[in-house]
Amino acid sequence: HLQVLPSEQVLGLVGKAAPDELGDADELHRLVAATGASHVVQPRAARRADVWDVVVEVRDGANVRTYEGRAPAPLQAMDLALGGYLSSIGAGALAAPAQPPTLTELQQRIDAAFLDGDVARARRLVADAPAEYRENPQLRVRAGEIEVRAGELDAAAQRFARVLDDGERVPAALRARAEYGFCTIAMRRNDFAGVVARCSAAAATLGAERDPVLSARLHMLRAVAEGALGRGDDALADAARARMDWELAGDRRGMASLDVDEGLILRGLGRYAEAIAAFERAAAVFERLGVEDSLAVSLSAKADTQIVVLDLAGALEASERAWRLAARLANPVAVRRLAFCRARVLVLAGRFADAAALLDRFADAAGALPEFAVLRAQLALERGDAAGALAQADAIFDRVEHPPDPSSEASVADAAAVFVEAALRSGRRADADHFLARLSAAPPVEQDAERGFFAELARGGIAALAAETDAADRHFGAALTLAGRSGRPDEIVAAASAYARYLLAHGRVDAATGVVGRLAPYADRDYRAARAAADLYAALGDEARRRDAEAAAAQLAGERAGARAASREPPMASATR
């Protein structure tokens, strides 16, 4: 039994080297270091008249062995050369190909284009294939996978359904792969319960078939969905099973993909440092292998997590690296997600002009996702334009509740937080009540689990605006308690800074001192925390500490300085996630 690296990993490695570099000692050392392979097989092919000559060099450390094959077709010549190599190590001869050589060659060309990220070419090869080849179940499954990668989910579902409709005439492993295709579609549509059901069906169909790569993928995807559904123990168990399967497959790229997915699970469990470490491990592998789309995903996930822990400097660096890769990605859904991550980091870091340029590109595009509109409203709010933030607020909220694309990651809680705060800054109690009511009435969804925190923060701000002291204390206190339970630094700062400003505005310096103490760990990296500390020290008459806090706030403000002067401080602080 020979363990062979998966095609994805091989193509990712050799695709970054020029043909004349592959025999270079340094390049071979890089390949071995990246893969852990004990043998490197390097083929060369040349056509002379009607005959193909194939030479295969097998390198084992300093040893080089050569095997040759000659035949009318390139794959036949390759089989002869590889057969000689396998016989020399006692592995037996190659089995006869199950498909006619022309179909096999077509499949390999499609696979090569797909694995190299050339989705357009892969789709053309499928479309131009003879009709009898297009009916081949294996080609149908690959065509469905291509459509998923291109973002054409309905077309992909039709491809996979036709394979499953053929029932047991299709091998179990291929049917399981089609079922897994439906898993990926459900994940793109944020249908986490559907992912769990489809992946479970795929596992049942696969049964005892030895396909560690497919088994790893379906357990990995199910783990992510279980994490999103709050089933942390199930998620970690599936991730562990996937890790063993990737180990059996010898697939380092698969292991890196698992690190990304496990990072998402860990983030959902509040284990942020472990999550960031997992994303960093994955990014290092993807960068070494040259897998740019997966590298961008891992960097974006890292940036999203750094936002939660208020490491905006780290999030700026990670999101910038991810965004630089976007121009080379074929999947428009992936590009939009990278753009949203980058724009959100820019807004939070106070780089408003850069954020506006990116939002102008995506928020007004045809079929734009509603999260871009919410973020643009937040940008207006940060710039001191509360009225601008409320423009078309109800229409935007409608689109958040009923997104035009199921891949949207828009959050009802995020939308309500922005619009309630905009109403409070404008002194419009009725509008604030209206958007709080919309938040409360919205059906619950798995990816909006922090809705209770946002609702309490909004109630605190509304009570503060109405000078309802007891209610303001109760709701701000409840929001701070919920934030402490979740352990999310971004929520702790949002609740504590809003409550501290309210207390200071009413001269309650002693109470504010305890609340600002909750902000102390974040005063050197979050503008809101530094601003609250400066206001407290001013109220205490501690001029030296006030100056230090003001300096920290100025350093963290970015382009907020003018906006703050143009707008009164709100009773509620924006709580972006």
Mean pLDDT across the stretch 151-164?
90
- What is the tens place of the pLDDT at every residue in 451-491? 899 999 999 999 999 999 999 999 999 999 999 999 999 99
What is residue 209's predicted lDDT score, i.e. its pLDDT?
Answer: 77
- What is the tens place of the pLDDT at every residue in 238-272? 999 999 999 888 888 889 999 999 999 999 889 99
Helices 429-441, 412-425: axis angle to 10 degrees equals: 170
Whether pTM > 0.75 for this model: the answer is yes
pLDDT higher than 80, residue 97: no
Mean pLDDT across the stretch 422-444?
94
pLDDT higher than 90, residue 369: no
Helices 137-149, 172-188: axis angle to 10 degrees equals: 20
What is residue 85's predicted lDDT score, i.e. its pLDDT?
Answer: 73
Cα distance between residue 374 and residue 576, in whole Å: 11
Torsion of CA 339, 344, 350, 353, to 10 degrees: 30
**Angle CA 345–348–352, to nearest 5:** 90
- What is the tens place of the pLDDT at every residue in 116-157? 667 788 888 888 888 888 888 888 888 898 888 888 899 999
Burial 246-272 (b: 16+ CB within 10 A, else e): beebbbbbbbbbbbbbbbbbbbbbebb
What is residue 68's predicted lDDT score, i.e. its pLDDT?
Answer: 81
Structure tokens at 262: 């496990």
- What is the tens place of the pLDDT at every residue in 499-552? 999 999 999 999 999 999 999 999 999 999 999 999 999 999 999 999 999 999
DSSP state of 562: H
What is residue 574's predicted lDDT score, i.e. its pLDDT?
Answer: 47
What is residue 496's predicted lDDT score, i.e. its pLDDT?
Answer: 97
**Range among 24-28, 141-145, 365-369 rated most confident:** 141-145
DSSP state of 19: G
1-15, 138-152, 361-375, 400-414, range with the lowest pLDDT? 1-15
pLDDT higher than 80, residue 414: yes
Half-sphere exposure of 560 (CA within 13 A, CB side): 22
pLDDT higher than 80, residue 386: yes
What is residue 542's predicted lDDT score, i.e. its pLDDT?
Answer: 96
pLDDT higher than 90, residue 2: no
Q: How far is CA 183 from CA 114, 171, 190, 251, 438, in A?
A: 19, 19, 11, 21, 32
DSSP state of 577: -
DSSP state of 129: S
What is residue 98's predicted lDDT score, i.e. its pLDDT?
Answer: 47
What is residue 266's predicted lDDT score, i.e. its pLDDT?
Answer: 94
Question: Whose structure tokens read 């789709």?
Answer: 123
- What is the tens place of the pLDDT at every residue in 60-83? 766 778 878 787 777 777 777 777
Cα distance between residue 256 and residue 265, in whole Å: 14
Q: Which residue has the higher pLDDT, 366 or 171?
A: 171
Is residue 344 within 8 Å of residue 551, measured between CB atoms?
no
What is residue 197's predicted lDDT score, i.e. its pLDDT?
Answer: 95
Cα distance between residue 45 and residue 69, in whole Å: 10
Structure tokens at 172: 């179990």
88-92, 173-177, 183-187, range with the lowest pLDDT? 88-92
Burial 411-441 (b: 16+ CB within 10 A, else e): bbbbbbbbbbbbbbbbebeebbbbbbebbee
Query: What residue type is assigned to position 270 of the chain?
Result: G
Structure tokens at 178: 């089609």
What is residue 30's predicted lDDT score, i.e. its pLDDT?
Answer: 67
- Among 56, 95, 96, which Cα is nearest to 78's? 56
Structure tokens at 213: 């790569």
403 φ, ψ to 5°?
Answer: -65, 145
Mean pLDDT across the stretch 400-421?
89
Cα distance between residue 155 and residue 64, in whole Å: 47
101-105, 209-213, 373-377, range with the lowest pLDDT? 101-105
pLDDT exceeding 70 applies to what percent of the chain? 86
What is residue 571's predicted lDDT score, i.e. its pLDDT?
Answer: 44
What is residue 421's predicted lDDT score, i.e. its pLDDT?
Answer: 96
Q: Residue 146's Cα: distance from chain center in Å?
A: 19
Cα distance between residue 130 and residue 320, in whole Å: 44
pLDDT higher than 60, residue 96: no
- What is the tens place of the pLDDT at every residue in 342-356? 999 999 999 999 999
H-type alpha helices, 309-351: 312-325, 332-348
Average pLDDT value for the chain: 86
Half-sphere exposure of 126 (CA within 13 A, CB side): 26
Q: Residue 93's Cα: distance from chain center in Å?
A: 43
Any residues with CB less than 8 A from the CB of 329 and at least 6 apart, and which? Answer: 117, 292, 293, 296, 335, 338
Mean pLDDT across the stretch 185-198?
92
What is residue 118's predicted lDDT score, i.e. its pLDDT?
Answer: 75
373 φ, ψ to 5°?
Answer: -65, -40
pLDDT-based confidence at 94, cuts 50/70/90?
low
Q: Residue 457's Cα: distance from chain center in Å?
A: 28
What is residue 21's predicted lDDT score, i.e. its pLDDT?
Answer: 52
Which DSSP string do the residues of 428-474 spell out, in sequence order? -HHHHHHHHHHHHHSPP-GGGTTHHHHHHHHHHHHHHHTT-HHHHHH
Q: Which residue has the higher pLDDT, 7 or 305?
A: 305
Cα distance between residue 226 and residue 268, in whole Å: 10
Q: Which residue has the higher pLDDT, 201 or 92?
A: 201
Neighbours of 149 (CB within 10 A): 20
pLDDT-based confidence at 177, cuts 50/70/90?
very high
What is residue 408's predicted lDDT score, i.e. its pLDDT?
Answer: 84
What is residue 230's predicted lDDT score, i.e. its pLDDT?
Answer: 86
Mean pLDDT across the stretch 409-433?
94
H-type alpha helices, 466-542: 469-486, 489-505, 509-517, 527-540
What is residue 573's predicted lDDT score, i.e. its pLDDT?
Answer: 46
What is residue 16's predicted lDDT score, i.e. its pLDDT?
Answer: 52
